[in-house]
Chains A and B, each alone.
Chain A
Amino acid sequence: MELLQTNLLTPVVLAFVLGAIAARVGSDLRLPDPIYATLSIYLVFAIGLKGGASLSQSSLSEVALPGVAALLLGCATPVWCYALLRRTADLSREDAAALAAHYGSISIVTFMAGIAYLDSIQVEYEGFVPAFAAMLEVPGIAVALFLARRGSGKSSREGLIETLTGRSIVLLTGGLVIGLLSGPEGVEKVSAFFIDPFQGVLALFLLEMGRVASSRLGDLRQSGAVLMAFAIIGPAFHGLLGVALGWLTGLSEGGSFALGILSASASYIAAPAAVRLSLPEANPSVYLTPVLAVTFPFNLTLGIPLFHTFARWFHG
Protein backbone atom coordinates (compact mmCIF):
# COMPACT_ATOMS: atom_id res chain seq x y z
CA MET A 1 0.00 0.00 0.00
CA GLU A 2 2.83 2.30 0.90
CA LEU A 3 4.62 1.39 -2.34
CA LEU A 4 1.44 2.15 -4.27
CA GLN A 5 1.21 5.59 -2.74
CA THR A 6 4.90 6.30 -3.36
CA ASN A 7 4.45 5.42 -7.01
CA LEU A 8 1.19 7.26 -7.59
CA LEU A 9 2.35 10.51 -6.04
CA THR A 10 5.29 11.09 -8.36
CA PRO A 11 5.29 13.88 -10.97
CA VAL A 12 5.73 11.25 -13.69
CA VAL A 13 2.54 9.33 -12.84
CA LEU A 14 0.58 12.45 -11.90
CA ALA A 15 1.47 14.03 -15.26
CA PHE A 16 -0.05 10.97 -16.95
CA VAL A 17 -3.21 11.41 -14.86
CA LEU A 18 -3.36 15.11 -15.74
CA GLY A 19 -3.09 14.31 -19.44
CA ALA A 20 -5.90 11.76 -19.10
CA ILE A 21 -8.15 14.20 -17.23
CA ALA A 22 -7.42 17.00 -19.71
CA ALA A 23 -8.55 14.76 -22.57
CA ARG A 24 -11.71 13.71 -20.70
CA VAL A 25 -12.80 17.31 -20.11
CA GLY A 26 -12.10 18.18 -23.73
CA SER A 27 -9.10 20.42 -23.09
CA ASP A 28 -7.02 21.45 -26.12
CA LEU A 29 -3.88 20.30 -24.26
CA ARG A 30 -1.64 18.24 -26.50
CA LEU A 31 2.02 18.12 -27.38
CA PRO A 32 2.71 19.18 -30.96
CA ASP A 33 3.82 16.14 -33.00
CA PRO A 34 7.41 17.34 -33.61
CA ILE A 35 7.88 17.96 -29.86
CA TYR A 36 6.46 14.52 -29.05
CA ALA A 37 8.88 12.96 -31.55
CA THR A 38 11.81 14.98 -30.16
CA LEU A 39 11.04 14.03 -26.56
CA SER A 40 10.81 10.35 -27.46
CA ILE A 41 14.20 10.55 -29.22
CA TYR A 42 15.68 12.27 -26.18
CA LEU A 43 14.29 9.70 -23.74
CA VAL A 44 15.35 6.60 -25.65
CA PHE A 45 18.81 7.95 -26.44
CA ALA A 46 19.34 9.07 -22.85
CA ILE A 47 18.39 5.70 -21.36
CA GLY A 48 20.66 3.99 -23.89
CA LEU A 49 23.62 6.23 -22.97
CA LYS A 50 23.13 5.64 -19.27
CA GLY A 51 22.78 1.87 -19.76
CA GLY A 52 25.82 1.75 -22.03
CA ALA A 53 28.02 3.59 -19.53
CA SER A 54 27.01 1.13 -16.86
CA LEU A 55 27.50 -1.81 -19.23
CA SER A 56 31.13 -0.71 -19.68
CA GLN A 57 31.65 -1.23 -15.92
CA SER A 58 30.04 -4.69 -15.82
CA SER A 59 31.56 -8.09 -16.42
CA LEU A 60 30.21 -10.38 -19.13
CA SER A 61 29.30 -13.06 -16.57
CA GLU A 62 27.04 -10.61 -14.72
CA VAL A 63 25.17 -9.62 -17.87
CA ALA A 64 25.09 -12.86 -19.88
CA LEU A 65 22.74 -14.98 -17.79
CA PRO A 66 19.95 -12.41 -17.26
CA GLY A 67 20.45 -11.38 -20.90
CA VAL A 68 19.76 -14.91 -22.12
CA ALA A 69 16.75 -15.09 -19.79
CA ALA A 70 15.40 -11.84 -21.27
CA LEU A 71 15.88 -13.14 -24.79
CA LEU A 72 14.08 -16.42 -24.02
CA LEU A 73 11.24 -14.54 -22.39
CA GLY A 74 10.96 -12.31 -25.47
CA CYS A 75 10.63 -15.37 -27.72
CA ALA A 76 8.29 -17.34 -25.48
CA THR A 77 5.81 -14.60 -24.48
CA PRO A 78 4.18 -14.22 -27.91
CA VAL A 79 3.78 -18.00 -28.21
CA TRP A 80 1.59 -18.40 -25.17
CA CYS A 81 -0.17 -15.08 -25.75
CA TYR A 82 -1.09 -16.26 -29.24
CA ALA A 83 -2.22 -19.72 -28.11
CA LEU A 84 -4.27 -18.32 -25.24
CA LEU A 85 -5.94 -15.59 -27.29
CA ARG A 86 -6.82 -17.97 -30.12
CA ARG A 87 -8.53 -20.30 -27.66
CA THR A 88 -10.24 -17.89 -25.30
CA ALA A 89 -10.87 -14.59 -27.06
CA ASP A 90 -12.27 -15.87 -30.37
CA LEU A 91 -9.81 -13.79 -32.37
CA SER A 92 -8.68 -14.32 -35.94
CA ARG A 93 -5.17 -15.59 -36.50
CA GLU A 94 -4.01 -12.09 -37.47
CA ASP A 95 -5.63 -10.32 -34.53
CA ALA A 96 -4.24 -12.86 -32.05
CA ALA A 97 -0.75 -12.58 -33.57
CA ALA A 98 -0.97 -8.78 -33.56
CA LEU A 99 -1.74 -8.79 -29.83
CA ALA A 100 0.99 -11.36 -29.23
CA ALA A 101 3.48 -9.05 -30.98
CA HIS A 102 2.47 -6.10 -28.77
CA TYR A 103 2.64 -8.08 -25.52
CA GLY A 104 5.82 -9.91 -26.53
CA SER A 105 7.57 -6.64 -27.32
CA ILE A 106 8.16 -3.90 -24.75
CA SER A 107 7.33 -0.29 -23.95
CA ILE A 108 10.50 1.60 -23.17
CA VAL A 109 8.47 4.42 -21.58
CA THR A 110 6.85 2.03 -19.09
CA PHE A 111 10.33 0.79 -18.26
CA MET A 112 11.56 4.38 -17.78
CA ALA A 113 8.71 5.06 -15.37
CA GLY A 114 9.79 1.94 -13.43
CA ILE A 115 13.39 3.19 -13.30
CA ALA A 116 12.18 6.65 -12.23
CA TYR A 117 10.29 4.91 -9.40
CA LEU A 118 13.43 3.03 -8.29
CA ASP A 119 15.37 6.29 -8.31
CA SER A 120 12.72 8.04 -6.26
CA ILE A 121 12.77 5.37 -3.52
CA GLN A 122 16.56 5.03 -3.86
CA VAL A 123 16.64 1.32 -4.62
CA GLU A 124 19.78 0.28 -6.47
CA TYR A 125 19.57 -1.66 -9.73
CA GLU A 126 22.02 -2.99 -12.29
CA GLY A 127 22.52 -0.08 -14.66
CA PHE A 128 22.87 -2.36 -17.67
CA VAL A 129 19.19 -3.43 -17.57
CA PRO A 130 18.29 -1.08 -20.48
CA ALA A 131 20.36 -3.41 -22.69
CA PHE A 132 17.68 -6.05 -22.07
CA ALA A 133 15.10 -3.67 -23.47
CA ALA A 134 16.88 -3.80 -26.81
CA MET A 135 16.95 -7.61 -26.61
CA LEU A 136 13.28 -7.91 -25.72
CA GLU A 137 11.87 -5.49 -28.26
CA VAL A 138 12.56 -7.39 -31.48
CA PRO A 139 12.08 -11.14 -30.78
CA GLY A 140 8.52 -10.65 -29.54
CA ILE A 141 7.49 -9.01 -32.80
CA ALA A 142 9.46 -11.47 -34.95
CA VAL A 143 7.97 -14.55 -33.31
CA ALA A 144 4.42 -13.20 -33.44
CA LEU A 145 4.68 -12.30 -37.14
CA PHE A 146 6.06 -15.76 -37.80
CA LEU A 147 3.10 -17.35 -35.99
CA ALA A 148 0.62 -15.42 -38.11
CA ARG A 149 2.36 -16.06 -41.40
CA ARG A 150 3.54 -19.65 -41.03
CA GLY A 151 2.15 -21.77 -43.81
CA SER A 152 0.61 -18.79 -45.62
CA GLY A 153 3.56 -18.13 -47.92
CA LYS A 154 3.33 -14.39 -47.24
CA SER A 155 6.43 -12.61 -46.02
CA SER A 156 6.82 -10.53 -42.88
CA ARG A 157 10.18 -9.22 -43.99
CA GLU A 158 9.12 -5.62 -44.40
CA GLY A 159 7.58 -5.48 -40.93
CA LEU A 160 10.73 -6.94 -39.40
CA ILE A 161 13.02 -4.54 -41.24
CA GLU A 162 10.77 -1.70 -40.08
CA THR A 163 11.24 -2.88 -36.48
CA LEU A 164 15.00 -3.32 -36.74
CA THR A 165 15.54 0.05 -38.41
CA GLY A 166 12.82 1.84 -36.44
CA ARG A 167 13.99 4.81 -34.40
CA SER A 168 13.51 3.17 -31.01
CA ILE A 169 15.83 0.24 -31.74
CA VAL A 170 18.40 2.36 -33.58
CA LEU A 171 18.48 4.97 -30.79
CA LEU A 172 18.50 2.47 -27.94
CA THR A 173 21.24 0.22 -29.34
CA GLY A 174 23.09 3.27 -30.70
CA GLY A 175 22.90 4.96 -27.29
CA LEU A 176 24.06 1.76 -25.58
CA VAL A 177 27.07 1.47 -27.89
CA ILE A 178 27.96 5.17 -27.49
CA GLY A 179 27.64 4.86 -23.71
CA LEU A 180 29.72 1.67 -23.76
CA LEU A 181 32.47 3.23 -25.87
CA SER A 182 32.65 6.54 -24.04
CA GLY A 183 32.30 5.03 -20.57
CA PRO A 184 31.07 6.76 -17.41
CA GLU A 185 33.56 9.65 -17.80
CA GLY A 186 32.35 10.36 -21.33
CA VAL A 187 28.69 10.18 -20.38
CA GLU A 188 29.44 12.42 -17.38
CA LYS A 189 30.21 15.22 -19.84
CA VAL A 190 26.71 15.12 -21.32
CA SER A 191 24.90 14.22 -18.10
CA ALA A 192 23.73 17.79 -17.48
CA PHE A 193 21.66 17.41 -20.63
CA PHE A 194 20.87 13.71 -20.85
CA ILE A 195 20.71 12.47 -17.25
CA ASP A 196 19.64 15.27 -14.91
CA PRO A 197 16.53 16.53 -16.77
CA PHE A 198 15.43 12.98 -17.65
CA GLN A 199 12.54 12.67 -15.20
CA GLY A 200 11.18 16.09 -16.13
CA VAL A 201 11.15 15.21 -19.82
CA LEU A 202 9.55 11.87 -18.98
CA ALA A 203 6.78 13.68 -17.08
CA LEU A 204 6.12 15.91 -20.09
CA PHE A 205 6.03 12.89 -22.38
CA LEU A 206 3.60 11.08 -20.09
CA LEU A 207 1.29 14.07 -20.15
CA GLU A 208 0.80 13.31 -23.84
CA MET A 209 0.52 9.56 -23.19
CA GLY A 210 -2.25 10.24 -20.67
CA ARG A 211 -4.16 12.08 -23.34
CA VAL A 212 -3.66 9.31 -25.89
CA ALA A 213 -4.63 6.54 -23.44
CA SER A 214 -7.76 8.30 -22.29
CA SER A 215 -8.89 9.08 -25.83
CA ARG A 216 -8.91 5.31 -26.40
CA LEU A 217 -11.21 4.64 -23.44
CA GLY A 218 -14.30 5.05 -25.60
CA ASP A 219 -13.28 2.02 -27.69
CA LEU A 220 -13.07 -0.24 -24.64
CA ARG A 221 -16.67 -1.39 -24.90
CA GLN A 222 -16.01 -2.97 -28.29
CA SER A 223 -13.04 -4.92 -26.96
CA GLY A 224 -14.96 -7.35 -24.76
CA ALA A 225 -14.33 -8.71 -21.27
CA VAL A 226 -11.86 -11.43 -22.27
CA LEU A 227 -9.47 -8.99 -23.91
CA MET A 228 -9.76 -6.55 -21.02
CA ALA A 229 -8.95 -9.33 -18.55
CA PHE A 230 -6.01 -10.38 -20.72
CA ALA A 231 -4.73 -6.80 -20.81
CA ILE A 232 -4.31 -6.91 -17.01
CA ILE A 233 -3.67 -10.58 -16.17
CA GLY A 234 -1.20 -11.04 -19.06
CA PRO A 235 1.15 -8.22 -17.99
CA ALA A 236 0.80 -9.15 -14.30
CA PHE A 237 1.91 -12.71 -15.14
CA HIS A 238 4.72 -11.50 -17.44
CA GLY A 239 5.89 -9.16 -14.70
CA LEU A 240 5.97 -11.96 -12.16
CA LEU A 241 7.90 -14.12 -14.61
CA GLY A 242 10.38 -11.32 -15.35
CA VAL A 243 10.99 -10.70 -11.65
CA ALA A 244 11.44 -14.46 -11.03
CA LEU A 245 13.89 -14.84 -13.92
CA GLY A 246 15.81 -11.78 -12.74
CA TRP A 247 16.09 -13.29 -9.27
CA LEU A 248 17.10 -16.72 -10.65
CA THR A 249 19.82 -15.23 -12.84
CA GLY A 250 21.39 -13.20 -10.06
CA LEU A 251 19.94 -9.72 -10.46
CA SER A 252 19.39 -7.56 -7.37
CA GLU A 253 15.96 -6.59 -6.02
CA GLY A 254 15.96 -3.45 -8.20
CA GLY A 255 17.27 -5.32 -11.24
CA SER A 256 14.67 -8.10 -10.92
CA PHE A 257 11.97 -5.45 -10.64
CA ALA A 258 13.31 -3.71 -13.76
CA LEU A 259 13.26 -6.95 -15.76
CA GLY A 260 9.74 -7.53 -14.41
CA ILE A 261 8.33 -4.18 -15.52
CA LEU A 262 10.09 -4.60 -18.87
CA SER A 263 8.47 -8.02 -19.41
CA ALA A 264 5.08 -6.74 -18.30
CA SER A 265 5.09 -3.73 -20.63
CA ALA A 266 3.47 -3.88 -24.05
CA SER A 267 4.72 -2.06 -27.11
CA TYR A 268 2.76 0.80 -28.63
CA ILE A 269 5.27 2.27 -31.10
CA ALA A 270 7.44 -0.45 -32.68
CA ALA A 271 4.87 -3.25 -32.70
CA PRO A 272 1.96 -1.24 -34.19
CA ALA A 273 4.12 -0.11 -37.13
CA ALA A 274 5.45 -3.62 -37.82
CA VAL A 275 2.03 -5.21 -37.46
CA ARG A 276 0.36 -2.63 -39.68
CA LEU A 277 2.85 -3.36 -42.46
CA SER A 278 2.97 -7.14 -42.13
CA LEU A 279 -0.53 -8.01 -40.89
CA PRO A 280 -2.84 -5.46 -42.51
CA GLU A 281 -5.82 -7.77 -41.92
CA ALA A 282 -5.49 -7.32 -38.16
CA ASN A 283 -7.79 -4.66 -36.77
CA PRO A 284 -5.80 -1.81 -35.10
CA SER A 285 -8.48 -1.06 -32.53
CA VAL A 286 -8.37 -4.72 -31.39
CA TYR A 287 -4.70 -4.47 -30.50
CA LEU A 288 -4.14 -0.78 -29.71
CA THR A 289 -7.05 -0.31 -27.32
CA PRO A 290 -6.04 -2.97 -24.75
CA VAL A 291 -2.39 -1.90 -24.95
CA LEU A 292 -2.97 1.85 -24.63
CA ALA A 293 -6.15 2.12 -22.59
CA VAL A 294 -5.60 -0.77 -20.17
CA THR A 295 -2.09 -2.24 -20.00
CA PHE A 296 -0.12 1.00 -20.15
CA PRO A 297 -2.09 2.74 -17.35
CA PHE A 298 -2.17 -0.51 -15.35
CA ASN A 299 1.60 -0.95 -15.45
CA LEU A 300 2.23 2.70 -14.70
CA THR A 301 -0.04 2.91 -11.66
CA LEU A 302 -0.52 -0.58 -10.15
CA GLY A 303 2.06 -2.68 -11.99
CA ILE A 304 5.11 -0.79 -10.72
CA PRO A 305 4.32 -1.26 -6.98
CA LEU A 306 3.05 -4.81 -7.66
CA PHE A 307 6.28 -5.91 -9.34
CA HIS A 308 8.32 -4.25 -6.65
CA THR A 309 6.35 -6.29 -4.10
CA PHE A 310 7.13 -9.45 -6.11
CA ALA A 311 10.82 -8.49 -6.20
CA ARG A 312 10.80 -8.01 -2.41
CA TRP A 313 9.26 -11.48 -1.92
CA PHE A 314 11.87 -13.17 -4.04
CA HIS A 315 14.72 -11.35 -2.36
CA GLY A 316 13.39 -12.13 1.09
Chain B
Amino acid sequence: MADPPLHTTRVKLLTVIAEAVLEDRLIRDVKRLGARGFTRSAVTGEGSRGRRVGDVEGANVRLECLVSEEVAERILAELSASYFEHYAAVAFVEDVSVVRGEKYI
Protein backbone atom coordinates (compact mmCIF):
# COMPACT_ATOMS: atom_id res chain seq x y z
CA MET B 1 0.00 0.00 0.00
CA ALA B 2 1.39 3.43 -0.96
CA ASP B 3 2.08 6.05 1.76
CA PRO B 4 -0.38 8.95 1.82
CA PRO B 5 1.07 12.01 0.03
CA LEU B 6 3.02 14.37 2.32
CA HIS B 7 1.16 17.54 3.06
CA THR B 8 3.45 20.49 2.26
CA THR B 9 2.95 24.22 2.65
CA ARG B 10 4.46 26.99 0.54
CA VAL B 11 6.50 29.41 2.69
CA LYS B 12 9.27 31.91 2.01
CA LEU B 13 12.91 31.18 2.65
CA LEU B 14 14.54 34.51 3.55
CA THR B 15 18.34 34.61 3.44
CA VAL B 16 20.37 37.52 4.80
CA ILE B 17 24.15 37.69 4.37
CA ALA B 18 25.76 40.61 6.17
CA GLU B 19 28.79 41.81 8.12
CA ALA B 20 29.36 39.56 11.13
CA VAL B 21 29.38 42.59 13.42
CA LEU B 22 25.64 42.92 12.75
CA GLU B 23 24.83 39.37 13.87
CA ASP B 24 23.18 40.14 17.22
CA ARG B 25 21.27 43.06 15.79
CA LEU B 26 19.96 41.05 12.83
CA ILE B 27 18.86 38.13 14.98
CA ARG B 28 16.99 40.55 17.23
CA ASP B 29 15.36 42.19 14.22
CA VAL B 30 14.17 39.03 12.45
CA LYS B 31 12.71 37.64 15.67
CA ARG B 32 11.01 40.92 16.52
CA LEU B 33 9.48 41.10 13.06
CA GLY B 34 7.96 37.64 13.29
CA ALA B 35 10.48 34.94 12.36
CA ARG B 36 9.98 31.96 14.66
CA GLY B 37 13.44 30.55 14.19
CA PHE B 38 16.59 30.94 12.15
CA THR B 39 19.73 29.14 11.07
CA ARG B 40 23.01 31.03 11.23
CA SER B 41 26.32 30.21 9.65
CA ALA B 42 29.65 31.98 9.30
CA VAL B 43 30.48 32.58 5.67
CA THR B 44 33.05 34.45 3.62
CA GLY B 45 32.82 36.10 0.25
CA GLU B 46 33.34 39.10 -1.93
CA GLY B 47 31.03 41.82 -3.19
CA SER B 48 30.80 45.47 -4.09
CA ARG B 49 32.23 46.38 -0.67
CA GLY B 50 35.28 44.18 -1.12
CA ARG B 51 36.46 40.82 0.17
CA ARG B 52 35.18 39.76 3.54
CA VAL B 53 37.18 36.81 4.75
CA GLY B 54 38.31 37.07 8.35
CA ASP B 55 38.25 38.56 11.80
CA VAL B 56 40.18 41.70 10.98
CA GLU B 57 39.07 42.11 7.39
CA GLY B 58 35.49 41.36 8.37
CA ALA B 59 33.67 38.04 8.28
CA ASN B 60 30.08 37.57 7.17
CA VAL B 61 27.12 35.97 8.85
CA ARG B 62 24.36 34.17 6.93
CA LEU B 63 20.90 33.98 8.48
CA GLU B 64 18.15 31.85 6.99
CA CYS B 65 14.56 31.91 8.18
CA LEU B 66 11.36 30.22 6.99
CA VAL B 67 8.61 32.82 7.21
CA SER B 68 5.30 33.91 5.74
CA GLU B 69 5.32 36.30 2.79
CA GLU B 70 4.15 39.11 5.04
CA VAL B 71 6.97 38.61 7.56
CA ALA B 72 9.52 38.32 4.74
CA GLU B 73 8.40 41.68 3.39
CA ARG B 74 8.51 43.28 6.82
CA ILE B 75 12.07 42.05 7.37
CA LEU B 76 13.20 43.21 3.91
CA ALA B 77 11.74 46.65 4.58
CA GLU B 78 13.60 46.87 7.90
CA LEU B 79 16.86 45.74 6.28
CA SER B 80 16.48 48.38 3.57
CA ALA B 81 15.81 51.10 6.09
CA SER B 82 18.54 50.24 8.58
CA TYR B 83 21.42 48.45 6.90
CA PHE B 84 21.70 48.58 3.13
CA GLU B 85 23.04 52.13 2.97
CA HIS B 86 26.12 51.77 5.17
CA TYR B 87 26.77 48.07 5.64
CA ALA B 88 27.78 45.18 3.42
CA ALA B 89 24.49 43.23 3.32
CA VAL B 90 22.48 41.14 0.86
CA ALA B 91 19.02 39.66 1.29
CA PHE B 92 16.85 37.53 -0.94
CA VAL B 93 13.63 35.54 -0.75
CA GLU B 94 12.79 32.18 -2.35
CA ASP B 95 9.63 30.07 -2.50
CA VAL B 96 10.02 26.73 -0.77
CA SER B 97 7.75 23.89 0.33
CA VAL B 98 7.93 22.51 3.84
CA VAL B 99 6.15 19.86 5.83
CA ARG B 100 4.62 21.00 9.10
CA GLY B 101 4.10 24.50 7.67
CA GLU B 102 2.31 25.63 10.83
CA LYS B 103 5.67 25.65 12.64
CA TYR B 104 6.90 28.55 10.57
CA ILE B 105 3.97 30.84 9.93
Chain A interface residues (CB < 8 Å from chain B): 33, 36-37, 40, 158, 162, 212, 215, 268-269, 272-273, 276-277, 280-281, 284-285, 288, 292
Contacts and interface: CB of A to CB of B under 8 A. Distances in A.
A contacts with B: majority SS: helix
Contacts of B42: 33
B19 interface: yes
Contact of B55 (A33, A284, A285): A33
B86 A280 contact: yes
Contacts of B59: 33
Chain B, interface residues (CB within 8 Å), range = 10 to 19
B95 interface: no
Contacts, number: 33
A158 B26 CA distance: 13
Contact of B56 (A269, A276, A280, A281): A269
A42 B50 CA distance: 30
A162 B42 CA distance: 19
Contact of A281 (B50, B57, B86): B86
B54 A33 contact: yes
Interface in B30-83: 42, 50, 54-59
A280 B83 CA distance: 9
Nearest to B85: A280
B21 interface: yes
A285 B57 CA distance: 10
Given A158-B25, A162-B21, A269-B55, 4 more contacts: A37-B55, A277-B25, A281-B86, A292-B56
B1 to A, nearest CB: 50
A36 B55 contact: yes
25 contacts: A33-B42, A33-B54, A33-B55, A36-B55, A40-B55, A158-B25, A162-B21, A212-B54, A212-B56, A212-B57, A215-B57, A268-B56, A269-B55, A272-B56, A273-B21, A276-B19, A276-B21, A276-B87, A277-B21, A277-B25, A280-B85, A280-B86, A280-B87, A281-B86, A285-B50
Nearest to A212: B56
A36 B54 contact: yes
